């Protein structure tokens, strides 16, 4: 008996010695359980993505997210201009000064949105490079090249120099840096190389959600139109301007055209103007400007009462300067504010374009502020801080939308968080071509008037100056991400406007390289003035 | 030569056999050592306390000893039977302390180790073990950031050494090192924001704990190598040793009454209307007079009961316990229910050569969380809404205030329930291979399964994420499973004038985390239980449609513009997205993401203790840890330490003044890999995270690179020097210690911004920077009165710590501030030359003539203000008095030199808040005419306050009923305990011991937050009555 126990103990003792040997063989390698481990055969280099098509889909999502938010890219492109300001209202929208600093051009290299935009755009570039360097289909590679060019365009435009990292370069490598003109060439090459393998592109929601020849041509037109800025030249080169014309012509040849019904273009329905749209929610574009008490059935909490436009921007439009109800003689693009006679369940009492003066709900009842005062938006904003809830005309291009499109004003099915943000639009291409022609010495008046005739209540211009063209672009393309780019090209980005002191400081034409980026990559040099 | 002298010596002395029994107050004492003085000859007592010692010289002196007991020396004087009663050692310094993989006594410890045993534990409502030792040891700062039952606890031993999230020490329960993370999900933000995970130690019944050892310096913690940098807390559960041979039942029960310790002095209806008027505004008067704060808080009654059985049957012992407790929080819809069972068995076999130990516990913790968040946005959470709600609103959950949260509406339409089951078992076999060599093998298994169901119904008003009107819910399942295997060998050898102990060990532990996060949107029902069951049934339906493995799936009426139905994202066997069509489920959109990963840790360690003349003690340890979190370049880290202690009082020259005087010197390197996460060193691909958008759509994620190859990633290291002195006077009636330390943490693992372009915005890097902690700790204990019927003693500890970050080239914003108009605001910054959690603010000067705030250097000039959220000084004072059958104790704790950012005041209590029609506290009223109702309220020093406080944490009084010998009961005791009775502080918020804890994904730049108070769960004042019976 005792012997048996001793034997048993010996067994335990033996297994005690063996078990650790078994365990100690563990090589501490992780296993593929919820992710794919990617190592190239020789342990170096880039092994290629497992599924470039799937990664491309993810990149579209990522770009959509980056251009959906009211912060970052949207704020840098619009809140730094005369089209948008986010005044601090009581305590609301103080937000640590991020909005004030953008509007007054007093940002620093640690501004959150500048940093986030840099990180977001460059991350998209790297992801696109990964897709390009993997063995996906020719079209996948071409779409990735387009997306890389699109993101790099903004890095070049906002920051000047552009860092670049090869796919096989790990975090131990400091990315190389393209100068602005090198980046220009890189973008141009990407787009030209992508062109043959991209689908043609034609109008319609189903055809404009991904990169096409038309969208690549549009982006080429953009870079050619701004080429002298990127190349550091005083004035545009006629060859580049001719390329703008050619590119727009090629887009036109695919069936894109300016069309009637200005605000319909921003609904998720077919139109002939949309060249590229993102599957990104338009909720922020609707609610960031509306007052708390302006709401829809799918957003009972109402707007966020932030973004407003400047009186001088509003005043660029045709019509009664102090009223924007239907019949005030305003041009179509200035939109309208519903009044008791035309507020209904479909428009929810929420207007289009510029919202000023008394606002109404869907019953036509005059809305009140949170203090029970009439909800009246005056167009003047006296100061950046110390405002009440109401100052400033509101600016809205997307509108809560009824996807059933039955015109049922009794019980519409409103969706204000739909995913359809228009990024490239033919009216822009049309005006780019007009501008290129003008800069080449032609008269752009008729080209501008062609567009104006489609937008109602816009009398023909008798002649078009540079200023007229800039203003026309402002009236047509407000809050579509282009105002900053346009002001820079027309040399007016450093001009004074309301709530921004005169600076005339040309270093503001570029944003600073974010402080964190400078630290992490010694190859970068800070832009002058920062 | 030596041998022959020994033989000769033996021959000239008459020898005999001596037998006897060694007892303690409860009966036979097995395992006691009986030795012949001056020789290495000896034996140990058997299960029944009996011993037999052969060949004992007639004039020998026998030494009877046992750890934790006073040794006795008894001359043989010709006797052959000697029975001895050993008395437990009264002197605290003889106390046993558990160190890693072994134990020692305080007297022989070379490192800074403090031990708190059950009789010294804090009392009252204790929801997790670390609260038992709060304030008991110098340099150990334990703060519960909120009064929520089951909320997480921050423990800092000798300062804050890591810049990442987790600075808590390693917890070792009965030899099983626990994983560092939580066991329950943080939960998905379904409209109110995120909050941090629950306290992972809630599964332990505080009543089961025998002692807690805190290892502070590197020589003590280095045996835990890569997990020792933040200190180690060793928890030992009670055994049945004191149970006696017949067995003892112990029953205790406690009832507690809690109420909010402090409330904000909010305006009532009339005051509010007057105040709005005073500020020149026009109030929106809805006609009622509602005290919203009272409606969301409550007075509660909690219960806790324990039944334990302990038996010591000689060759072993067992203890079994059952515990049920239900703690109600003082905010509506908050509670924690705990059911635990434990069985501990010790068995000795083969003449005590084999000792088997089984320790196991099974627990169920049910948490109910209110709609509170560490990251609530502009509308706030239920507390923020209650502080700011207009008091003229009717107290009606169906009243819709337009754009703000009606607190009652939110409470009524919210439910968050978490069930966590945890099973922890530890089996060990300890075998004496030969006299001086012992081997121990340990198997540990720890399984925690948690399910959290949260629902926010369509009837909620004005919450985020499209919850209102649609309903939103989440289901978060997490399973944590870890396995431990350990083998240690112990060798002991006595030499002439010295003694050697050697330990060598191997340990393997793996940590698996798996689960899923499900998000649902668009419910057909508004009943909260029904919503949870609708989501669960939707998940079942959809998962039954999917065959094969997958990472994600989602269902929407509007998938990728217009594809309706179910999609599945698969990784294995190949990357594929499948569309499986439509089905009928009770939610309109649903998205699920899964995770499953395993980390491994493999370690080799050794420790040598060498003692010369019982005066000079040397300890050296080395641990090599290999981790699957690092690539082949730096997979193993080496963590050495050395310590020397000198018992000066044993020297002839030291005289009689000191009963204890021991100098300790130590140095060591420990590591840290917490917060790094799985697989950060290798290029990996995974589907992106996604969710159901506000409008119910889902962007179908694609696969993307989630990490770079980063083979150079390595361990974070902390090197620590300690010089300490233990002292005792008057036979240690007055005793204590003083320690000076310097801790340098280098190769800081931080998720820093990647040099773009990069696949992700952040990646982990070993920063070339130092976090320095240096300080001094002082303990003093005094038995002021010592007599048979009257005892009074007092203990005081105080610690000073200075923290600084050095050689860091960057500057990282941290400390997110929340609230309306405070989006993107932050209050802290990480920069060299500053302590961690340094405040970076506008300097508030006053108000201008328009009533707008004026800040030094312009509206948006933020800078360091020379103040940090870290305290310079932490202190604890406890005293207890016993008079006959009565006893009483008091325990104070305090913290000094830290600052708190009062985010609550910033967000809710300004003129601008009342200008927006929100309620405020009385203090704001006095600003009428000074601050404009349209004034902005940027983050500034205006809201930075001193956090110094002294708290009477616990006061207790107890009465032990004298029982006759014939009584059925063995003991009967009543107690009354008050917790958090008062706080002395200048801080204007509810409680100075606060830190808002948002979910990990809501941390700015991934940096943790300290010293920011944003509508934290108020701390209760609690009175408890308790009864304790043994029979």
Residues B633/B711, Cβ–Cβ less than 8 Å: yes
Higher pLDDT, B22 or A359: A359
Please give the Cα distance from A309 to A392 (Å, whole number).
6
pLDDT at residue B6, as a whole number: 41
CA triplet B512, B516, B519: central angle to 5 degrees? 160
Please give the Cα distance from B163 to B749 (Å, whole number).
8
Instruction: Reduce the secondary structure of A286-325 to three states and give it as a string.
Output: HHCCCCCCCCECCECCCCCCCCEECHHHHCCCCCCCCCCE
Phi, psi of B924 (to 5 degrees): -70, -30
Per the CB < 8 Å rule, is B752 touching A520?
yes
Query: Which of B34, B74, B25, B71 shows the shortest CA–CA distance to B54?
Result: B34
Q: What is the mean pLDDT of chain B?
A: 89
Q: pLDDT tens-digit profile of B955-976?
A: 999 999 988 777 888 889 999 9
Please give the Cα distance from B390 to B672 (Å, whole number).
49
End-to-end CA distance of chain A, in Å?
Answer: 88
Cβ-proximal residues to A465 (8 Å cutoff; 6+ apart), any chain:
none
Listed range (A393-397, B517-521, B756-760, B907-911) with the worst mean pLDDT = B756-760
Asked if the model's pLDDT at residue B549 lies above 80, the reply is yes
Cβ-proximal residues to B263 (8 Å cutoff; 6+ apart), any chain:
B293, B297, B990, B1018
Query: Which of B482, B235, B431, B703 shows the shortest CA–CA distance to A6?
Result: B431
Per the CB < 8 Å rule, is A94 touching B860?
no
pLDDT at residue B677, as a whole number: 86
Please give the Cα distance from B694 to B339 (Å, whole number).
39
Q: Chain-centre distance of CA B324, in angstroms?
A: 21
Q: pLDDT tens-digit profile of A431-447?
A: 999 999 999 999 999 99
- B481 burial class (0-12, 13-18, 19+ CB within 10 angstroms)? middle
B847 close contact with A: CB closer than 8 A: no
pLDDT at residue B165, as a whole number: 64
Judged by phi (left if over 0) then psi (alpha if -120 to 50, else beta), residue A166 lies in beta
Asked if the model's pLDDT at residue A236 lies above 70, the reply is yes
- The mean pLDDT value for A206-231 works out to 97
Listed range (A57-61, B204-208, B293-297) with the worst mean pLDDT = B204-208
- A365 burial class (0-12, 13-18, 19+ CB within 10 angstroms)? exposed
C-alpha dist (Å) from residue B525 to A301, B15, B416, B459, B989 = 21, 90, 16, 10, 39
Residues A444/A39, Cβ–Cβ less than 8 Å: no
Please give the Cα distance from B567 to B591 (Å, whole number).
10
pLDDT at residue B57, as a whole number: 83
Asked if the model's pLDDT at residue B648 lies above 70, the reply is yes
Query: Which of A62, A76, A75 shows the shortest CA–CA distance to B702?
Result: A62
Please give the Cα distance from B907 to A95 (Å, whole number).
11
Q: Name the strand (E) or helix (H) holding B338.
A: strand B335-349
Pick from A61, A298, A519: CB nearest B702:
A61
Q: Do strands B576-581 and B563-570 pair parallel, antiparallel, or not at all (unpaired)?
A: antiparallel
C-alpha dist (Å) from residue B157 to A482, B721, B887 = 54, 14, 31
Measured between beta carbons, the chain A residues lying within 8 angstroms of B506 are 20, 23-24
Asked if the model's pLDDT at residue B301 lies above 70, the reply is yes
pLDDT at residue B48, as a whole number: 79
Pick from B433, B758, B820: CB nearest A91:
B820
Q: Which ranges of B815-854 does DSSP label H, i.e. alpha helix?
A: none
Asked if the model's pLDDT at residue A100 lies above 80, the reply is yes
Please give the Cα distance from A290 to A304 (Å, whole number).
6
Q: What is the mean pLDDT of chain A?
A: 91
Pick from A13, A516, A521: CB nearest B431:
A13
Per the CB < 8 Å rule, is B402 touching A101?
no
* A420 to chain B: closest CA residue: B561
The ipTM (two decimal places) reads 0.90
- The mean pLDDT value for B856-875 works out to 92
pLDDT at residue A424, as a whole number: 98
Q: pLDDT tens-digit profile of B47-62?
A: 778 888 888 888 888 8
Pick from A26, A53, A115: CB nearest B508:
A26
CA atoms within 13 A on the CB side of B301: 3
Pick from A26, A172, A372: CB nearest B602:
A26
Interface of B with A in 583-622 (CB under 8 A): 594-600, 602
Please give the Cα distance from B960 to B1028 (Å, whole number).
9
* B826 to chain A: closest CA residue: A96
pLDDT at residue B155, as a whole number: 87
C-alpha dist (Å) from residue B340 to B172, B307, B320 = 19, 11, 11
- The mean pLDDT value for B113-141 works out to 83
Phi, psi of B464 (to 5 degrees): -85, 175
pLDDT at residue B12, as a whole number: 46
Asked if the model's pLDDT at residue B5 lies above 50, the reply is no
CA triplet B819, B823, B826: central angle to 5 degrees? 95
Q: pLDDT tens-digit profile of A372-393?
A: 889 999 999 999 998 999 999 9
Count of CB atoms within 10 A of residue B483's CB?
Answer: 17
Please give the Cα distance from A83 to A309 (Å, whole number).
5
pLDDT at residue A414, as a whole number: 75
CA triplet B716, B718, B721: central angle to 5 degrees? 170
B754 close contact with A: CB closer than 8 A: yes
Q: pLDDT tens-digit profile of B798-849?
A: 999 999 999 998 889 999 999 888 988 999 999 999 999 999 999 999 999 9
The DSSP result for B97-160, as a single string, is EEETTEEEEGGG--S-EEEEEGGGS--SS--SGGGGGTTSSTTEEEEESSSSTT--EEEEESS-
Judged by phi (left if over 0) then psi (alpha if -120 to 50, else beta), residue B332 lies in beta
Asked if the model's pLDDT at residue A504 lies above 90, the reply is no
Asked if the model's pLDDT at residue B3 lies above 50, the reply is no
pLDDT at residue A43, as a whole number: 57
pTM: 0.90
Residues B463/B409, Cβ–Cβ less than 8 Å: no
Going along B149-247, which residue ranges are E strands? 153-157, 170-173, 176-177, 209-215, 232-237
Residues B799/B780, Cβ–Cβ less than 8 Å: no
Q: pLDDT tens-digit profile of B146-203?
A: 888 888 788 889 988 888 767 889 999 999 998 887 777 778 888 887 777 677 788 8
Per the CB < 8 Å rule, is A30 touching B596?
no
Asked if the model's pLDDT at residue A118 lies above 80, the reply is yes
Please give the Cα distance from B8 to B994 (Å, whole number).
73
Per the CB < 8 Å rule, is A97 touching B860?
yes
> What percent of chain A is modeled with pLDDT above 70?
93
Q: What is the CA radius of gyration of chain B?
A: 31
Q: pLDDT tens-digit profile of B433-485?
A: 888 899 999 999 999 999 999 999 999 988 888 888 889 999 999 999 999 99
Interface of B with A in 532-561 (CB under 8 A): 551, 560-561
Per the CB < 8 Å rule, is A96 touching B627?
no
Q: Name the strand (E) or helix (H) holding B981.
A: strand B971-985
B626 close contact with A: CB closer than 8 A: yes
Asked if the model's pLDDT at residue A11 lies above 60, the reply is no
Measured between beta carbons, the chain A residues lying within 8 angstroms of B427 are none
SS3 label, residue B919: coil
Please give the Cα distance from B64 to B71 (Å, whole number).
6
Asked if the model's pLDDT at residue B908 lies above 90, the reply is yes
Q: pLDDT tens-digit profile of B607-637?
A: 999 999 989 999 999 999 999 999 888 899 9
Listed range (A177-181, B157-161, B502-506) with the worst mean pLDDT = B157-161
B3 close contact with A: CB closer than 8 A: no
- A232 burial class (0-12, 13-18, 19+ CB within 10 angstroms)? exposed
């Amino acid at each position: 008996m005792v012997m048996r126990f001793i034997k048993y103990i010996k067994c335990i003792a033996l297994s005690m010695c063996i078990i650790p040997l078994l365990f100690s063989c563990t090589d501490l390698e992780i296993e593929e359980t919820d992710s794919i481990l990617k190592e190239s055969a020789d342990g170096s280099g880039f092994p290629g993505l497992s599924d470039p098509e799937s990664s491309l889909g993810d990149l579209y999502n990522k770009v959509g997210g980056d251009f959906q938010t009211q912060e970052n890219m949207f704020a840098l492109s619009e809140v730094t201009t005369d089209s948008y300001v986010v005044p601090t209202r009581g305590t609301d929208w103080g937000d640590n000064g991020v909005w004030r600093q953008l509007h007054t051009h007093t940002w620093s290299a640690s501004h959150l949105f500048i940093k986030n935009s840099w990180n977001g755009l460059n991350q998209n570039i790297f992801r696109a490079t990964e897709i390009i360097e993997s063995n996906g289909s020719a079209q996948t590679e071409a779409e990735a090249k387009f997306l890389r060019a699109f993101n790099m365009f903004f890095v070049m435009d906002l920051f000047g120099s552009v860092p670049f990292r090869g796919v096989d370069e790990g975090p131990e490598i400091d990315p190389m840096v393209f100068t602005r003109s090198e980046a220009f060439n890189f973008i141009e090459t990407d787009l030209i190389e992508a062109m043959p393998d991209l689908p043609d592109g034609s109008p319609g929601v189903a055809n404009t959600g991904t990169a096409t020849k038309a969208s690549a041509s549009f982006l080429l037109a953009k870079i050619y139109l701004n080429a002298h800025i990127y190349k550091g030249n005083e004035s545009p080169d006629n060859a580049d301007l001719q390329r703008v014309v050619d590119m727009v012509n090629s887009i036109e040849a695919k069936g894109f055209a300016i069309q009637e019904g200005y605000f319909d273009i921003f609904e998720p329905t077919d139109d002939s103007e949309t060249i590229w749209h993102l599957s990104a929610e338009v909720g922020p574009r609707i609610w960031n400007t509306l007052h708390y008490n302006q709401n829809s059935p799918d957003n009972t909490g109402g707007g966020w009462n932030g973004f407003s436009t400047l009186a001088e921007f509003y005043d660029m439009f045709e019509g009664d300067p102090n009223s924007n109800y239907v019949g005030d003689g305003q041009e179509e693009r200035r939109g309208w504010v519903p009044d008791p006679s035309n507020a209904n369940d479909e428009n929810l009492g929420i207007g289009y374009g510029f919202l000023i003066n008394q606002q109404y709900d869907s019953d036509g009842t005059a809305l009140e502020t949170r203090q029970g005062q009439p909800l009246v938006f005056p167009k003047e904003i006296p100061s950046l801080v110390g405002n009440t809830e109401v100052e400033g005309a509101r600016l809205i291009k997307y509108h809560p939308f009824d996807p059933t499109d039955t015109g049922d004003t009794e019980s519409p099915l409103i969706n204000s968080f739909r995913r359809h943000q228009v990024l490239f639009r033919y009216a822009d291409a049309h005006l780019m071509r007009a501008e290129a022609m003008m800069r080449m010495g032609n008269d752009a008046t008729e080209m501008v008037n062609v567009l104006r005739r489609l937008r109602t209540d816009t009398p023909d211009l008798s002649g078009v100056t540079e200023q007229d063209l800039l203003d026309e672009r402002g009236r047509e393309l407000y809050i579509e991400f282009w105002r900053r780019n346009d002001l820079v090209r027309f040399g007016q980005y450093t001009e004074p406007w309301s709530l921004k002191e005169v600076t005339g400081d040309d270093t503001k034409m570029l944003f600073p390289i974010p402080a964190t980026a400078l630290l992490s990559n010694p190859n970068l040099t800070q832009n002058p003035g920062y | 030569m030596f041998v022959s002298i020994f033989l000769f010596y033996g021959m000239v002395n008459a020898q005999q056999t001596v037998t006897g029994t060694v007892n303690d107050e409860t009966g036979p004492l097995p395992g006691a050592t009986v030795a012949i003085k001056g020789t290495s000859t000896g034996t140990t007592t058997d299960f029944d306390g009996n011993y037999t010692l052969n060949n004992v010289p007639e004039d020998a002196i026998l030494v009877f000893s046992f750890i934790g007991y006073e040794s006795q020396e008894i001359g043989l004087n010709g006797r052959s039977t000697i029975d001895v009663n050993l008395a437990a050692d009264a002197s605290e310094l003889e106390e046993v302390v558990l160190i890693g993989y072994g134990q020692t006594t305080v007297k022989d410890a070379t490192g800074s180790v403090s031990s708190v045993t059950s009789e010294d534990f804090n009392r009252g409502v204790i929801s997790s073990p670390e609260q038992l030792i709060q304030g008991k040891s110098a340099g150990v700062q334990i703060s519960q950031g909120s009064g929520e039952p089951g909320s997480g606890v921050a423990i800092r031993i000798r300062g804050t050494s890591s810049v990442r999230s987790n600075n808590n020490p390693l917890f070792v329960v009965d030899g099983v090192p626990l994983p560092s993370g939580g066991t329950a999900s943080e939960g998905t933000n379904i409209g109110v924001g995120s909050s941090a995970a629950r306290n992972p130690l809630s599964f332990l019944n505080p009543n089961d704990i025998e002692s807690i050892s805190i290892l502070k310096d590197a020589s003590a913690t280095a045996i835990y190598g890569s997990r020792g940098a933040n200190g180690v807390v060793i928890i030992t559960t009670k055994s049945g040793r004191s149970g006696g041979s017949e067995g003892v039942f112990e029953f205790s029960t406690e009832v507690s009454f809690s109420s909010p310790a402090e409330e904000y002095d909010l305006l009532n209806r009339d005051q509010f209307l007057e105040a709005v008027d005073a500020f020149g505004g026009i109030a929106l008067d809805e006609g009622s007079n509602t005290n919203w704060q009272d409606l969301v808080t409550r007075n509660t009654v909690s219960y806790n009961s324990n039944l334990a059985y302990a038996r010591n049957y000689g060759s072993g012992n067992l203890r079994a316990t059952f515990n049920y407790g239900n703690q109600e929080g003082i905010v509506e819809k908050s509670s924690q229910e705990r059911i635990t069972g434990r069985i501990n068995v010790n068995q000795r076999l083969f003449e005590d050569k084999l000792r088997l130990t089984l320790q196991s516990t099974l627990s169920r913790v049910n948490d109910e969380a209110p709609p509170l968040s560490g990251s609530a946005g502009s509308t706030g959470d239920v507390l923020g809404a209650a502080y700011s709600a207009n008091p003229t609103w009717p107290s009606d959950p169906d009243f819709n205030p337009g754009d703000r949260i009606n607190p009652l509406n939110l409470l009524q339409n919210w439910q968050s329930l978490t069930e966590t089951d945890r099973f922890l078992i530890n089996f060990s076999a300890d075998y004496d291979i030969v006299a001086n060599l012992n081997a121990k093998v340990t198997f540990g298994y720890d399984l925690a399964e948690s399910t959290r169901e949260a629902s926010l119904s369509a009837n909620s008003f004005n919450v985020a994420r499209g919850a209102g009107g649609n309903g939103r819910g989440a289901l978060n399942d997490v399973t944590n499973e870890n396995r431990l295997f350990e083998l240690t060998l112990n060798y002991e050898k006595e030499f002439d004038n010295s003694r050697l102990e050697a330990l060598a060990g191997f340990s393997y532990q793996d940590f698996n985390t798996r689960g899923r996060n499900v998000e649902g949107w668009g419910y057909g029902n508004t009943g909260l239980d029904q919503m949870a069951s609708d989501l669960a049934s939707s998940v079942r339906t959809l998962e039954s449609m999917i065959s094969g493995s997958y990472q994600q799936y989602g269902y929407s009426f509007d998938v990728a513009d217009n594809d309706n139905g179910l999609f599945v994202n698969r990784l294995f066997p190949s990357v594929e997205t499948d569309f499986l069509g439509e089905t009928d489920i009770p939610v309109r959109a649903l998205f699920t993401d899964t995770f499953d990963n395993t980390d491994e840790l493999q370690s080799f360690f050794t420790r040598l203790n060498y003692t010369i003349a019982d005066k000079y003690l040397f300890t050296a340890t080395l641990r090599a840890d290999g981790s699957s979190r690092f690539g082949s370049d730096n997979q193993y880290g080496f963590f050495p330490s050395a310590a020397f202690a000198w018992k000066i009082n044993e020297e002839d020259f030291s005289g009689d003044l000191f009963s204890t005087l021991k100098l300790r010197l130590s140095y060591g390197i420990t590591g840290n890999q917490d917060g790094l996460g799985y697989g950060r060193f290798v290029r990996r691909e995974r589907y992106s995270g996604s969710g159901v958008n506000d409008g119910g759509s889902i962007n179908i994620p694609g696969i993307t690179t989630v990490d770079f190859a980063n083979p150079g990633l390595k361990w974070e290291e902390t090197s620590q020097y300690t010089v300490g002195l233990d002292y005792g006077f008057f036979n240690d009636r007055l005793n204590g210690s003083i320690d000076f330390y310097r801790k340098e943490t280098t190769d800081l693992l931080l998720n820093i911004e990647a040099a773009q372009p990069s696949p992700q915005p952040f990646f982990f890097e070993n920063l070339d920077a130092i976090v320095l902690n240096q300080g001094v700790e002082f303990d003093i204990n005094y038995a002021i009165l010592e007599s048979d019927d009257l005892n009074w003693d007092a203990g005081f500890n105080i610690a000073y710590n200075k923290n600084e970050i050095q050689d860091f080239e960057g500057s990282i914003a941290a400390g997110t501030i929340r609230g309306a108009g405070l989006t993107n605001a932050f209050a802290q910054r990480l920069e060299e030359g500053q302590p961690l959690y340094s405040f970076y603010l506008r300097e508030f000067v006053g108000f201008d003539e328009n009533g707008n705030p004026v800040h030094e250097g312009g509206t948006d000039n933020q800078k360091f203000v020379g103040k940090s959220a870290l305290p310079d000084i932490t202190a604890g004072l406890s005293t207890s008095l016993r008079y006959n059958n009565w006893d009483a104790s008091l325990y104070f704790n305090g913290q000094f030199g830290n600052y708190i950012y009062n985010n609550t005041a910033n967000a809710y209590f300004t003129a601008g808040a009342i200008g927006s029609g929100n309620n405020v506290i009385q203090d704001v009223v006095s600003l009428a005419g000074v601050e404009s109702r349209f004034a902005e309220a940027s983050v500034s020093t205006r809201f930075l306050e001193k956090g110094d406080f002294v708290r009477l944490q616990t006061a207790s009084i107890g009465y032990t009923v004298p029982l006759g010998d014939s009584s059925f009961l063995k003991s009967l005791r009543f107690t009354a305990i008050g917790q958090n009775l008062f706080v002395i502080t200048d801080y204007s918020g509810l409680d100075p011991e606060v830190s808002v804890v948002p979910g990990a994904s809501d941390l700015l730049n991934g940096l943790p937050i300290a010293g920011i108070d944003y509508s934290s769960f108020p701390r209760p004042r609690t009175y408890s009555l308790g009864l304790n019976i043994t029979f």
